[in-house]
Amino acid sequence: MRGSHFARTRRRSSGAAALLWPLLGACLWAAVVGFKPVIVVHGLFDSSEDFKALSVFINESHPGTNVTVIDLFDRGGSLQPMWKQVEGFKAAIYPIMQNAADGVNLICYSQGGLVCRGILSTLSDHNVHSFISLSAPQAGQYGDTDYFKIFPHFVKTNLYHLCYTGIGQHISICNYWNDPHHRDLYLNNSEYLALLNSERPNPNSTVKRFLPEMHESKESSWSTEWKKNFLRIQKLVLIGGPDDGVITPWQSSQFGFYDDNETVVEMQHQDMYLKDVFGLKTLAARGDLILCSFPGIEHVKWHSNETVFHACIEKWLL
């Protein structure tokens, strides 16, 4: 009986050891490799609670990774002006960067992808390695979706009446609303996206209120500086797909957009790429511009789909 008891105890101990050794090995590997901290910025009407699955995926593939989902501008707060969000998220992210000697990785979802572009453009000493833009309207938005029920009397063809006004520009969606049929109004009134894309010659007083370090210059040195800042990243990963259902056109997630006939012009044929106004062409020449197009994914599922994570995100978090 005693020998049988000892045998069972040894088997249990061996079984426990079999389970613990892989975990211990993974922890030792993480300590040696030193996975960079991952910072997640949410999108419109989201909160940090929506990204639990993504955090699990990251720590299963890269054990020990410090994952921070920034808990700011949640839900209705995500309608705050984009420059205000840039400053708020920047203040929360910067201390994490300062404590990461080897740099950090950014995963920025939907509207959060544009927030992160603002941070990367205006922060001269950031240390972001991979900027992963997850189904974000990087070239703008022009389409009716359920998200726009907050504008009950507007459809895409007349939303410009609101968005390209002083009042409209206090709403985040309007900061990147890009109506291809009213290009002049967009260029003259967009206080966020048109500046990020260097489509406006000078920053205006609204932007300066949030970014007091900006200054007027005959040579538009602010846009040159923003390009320099943005190009500090090591990788730009642009993820999107044809079944998204929210980002319109879906190619906006990869800097494609409509012409005035609502025909999609791919990124490589856009002026912002051809003229390399903020660094896309430079990144491509460096081999640091990665496109990951994935069918069958609805907009709200990008960050919780494990297949997308392994195919498009995992390899860029080293």
Q: Name the active-site residue from 46, 244, 252, 253.
A: 244
Q: Name the active-site residue from 42, 126, 299, 303.
A: 299
Pairwise CA distance, residues 36 & 30, whole Å = 10
**Is there a catalytic annotation at residue 244?**
yes
CA 79 remoteness from chain centre: 16
Pairwise CA distance, residues 248 & 245, whole Å = 7
User: Which tokens hold the place of 287?
Assistant: 């081999």
**Is there a catalytic annotation at residue 144?**
no
Angle of the 221-230 helix axis to the 111-122 helix axis, nearest 10: 110
User: Do 277 and 197 form a contact (C-beta atoms < 8 A)?
Assistant: yes
**Is there a catalytic annotation at residue 110?**
yes
Q: Name the active-site residue from 110, 121, 172, 223.
A: 110
The catalytic residue positions are 110, 244, 299
